Amino acid sequence: MKKVVLAVIGLGVVGCAPSSNAPFHMYDSPLLQSGLHPSAPRARNFDPLGTGDFQTSDTYQLAQAEPTARDSAPKVELTPKASSKHLAEAPQKKLPTLAIGSRPDPQTTGKSASDWNHRPEHSAAYAAKVLEVNGHAVDASAMSSVSKLYKHCKESGKISHDSAHIGDLVFFHNVADINADGRNNDWYTFVGVIESKTSDVYTIQGVLGGKLGKHTMRLAKDEPTDASSRLRDPSASDAPFTQYYTSELFAGFCGLLGDKPDLILVDEWSP
């Protein structure tokens, strides 16, 4: 075994020596010594389409030995801060103000005059007066607020949403933008009294927009306008999905009097 190993080592030493008699030559190889060259020169000027895009140049630009002097950055002029005196003298933009409880001009807001003339407490006072002359008295708070009158009905267990009788109260939401915020969040803003009814159409009397009048409502409807009165006038400033008809703004019935065919109505009333 030792003789075989020594023979292999001997062959390796002989093969690595720069002798022309070795079976292979490692260091004088043309490939390693960059001795191989293509059989034809490179086509540097080959341009089959004549566009000039394939031409190459044998000239090269050498990098500068030393960097050129660096130009300084341009001077930035700082704008002086305005003094308090200048701020005081500058014209100030005036913002529109709206006092609490004031009513905007309909030409500015797009609201109709009837919207801003409507006072929910007037409709509550009229409904409470009709209840009183028909034998059902309510406290002073319910007479001055539609929402409190609704609360009185709810505490009495008399609220329904499917059918009603003559003499029942009818509540509505969003008949006007009472709080003037441009949103449909004016709950319980109108209440009226059912004066008469057919199979599915109710005639309602109440104070809306400062006037005592009659309105109709049909809950079983195909279209909102089908036998239903418009309680709210459309406006360009209305919020999306604003509704206008009795069947859309309906908020519930209240049967404090029961079925009252001989209902006594108040035809002459003022706030």
Note the pLDDT tens digit of each residue in 236-258.
Answer: 889 999 999 999 999 999 999 99
CA nearest neighbour of 263 among 127, 124, 123: 127
CA nearest neighbour of 201 among 239, 231, 161, 228: 228
Ranges of beta strands (E only) in the chain are 159-160, 169-172, 190-197, 201-208, 211-218, 250-254
159 in a domain, yes or no? yes
142 in a domain, yes or no? yes
Q: What percentage of the chain reaches a pLDDT higher than 70?
A: 56
Task: Please list the residues that pair with 191 across neighbouring strands.
Answer: 171
202 in a domain, yes or no? yes
Q: Which of 26-30, 34-38, 61-65, 260-264 has the lowest mean pLDDT?
A: 61-65
211 in a domain, yes or no? yes
Parent domain of 146 = 109-254
1 in a domain, yes or no? no
224 in a domain, yes or no? yes
Note the pLDDT tens digit of each residue in 83-110.
Answer: 555 545 555 544 333 333 333 333 333 3
> How much is the average pLDDT of 51-79?
52
128 in a domain, yes or no? yes
| Separation between Cα atoms, residue 121 and residue 268, nearest integer Å | 17
239 in a domain, yes or no? yes
The neighbour count for residue 63, using CB atoms within 10 Å, is 6
Instruction: Indicate the number of domains in the chain.
Output: 1
CB 114 within 8 A of CB 231: no
Q: Quick one: pLDDT band at residue 79, thresholds 50, 70, 90?
A: low
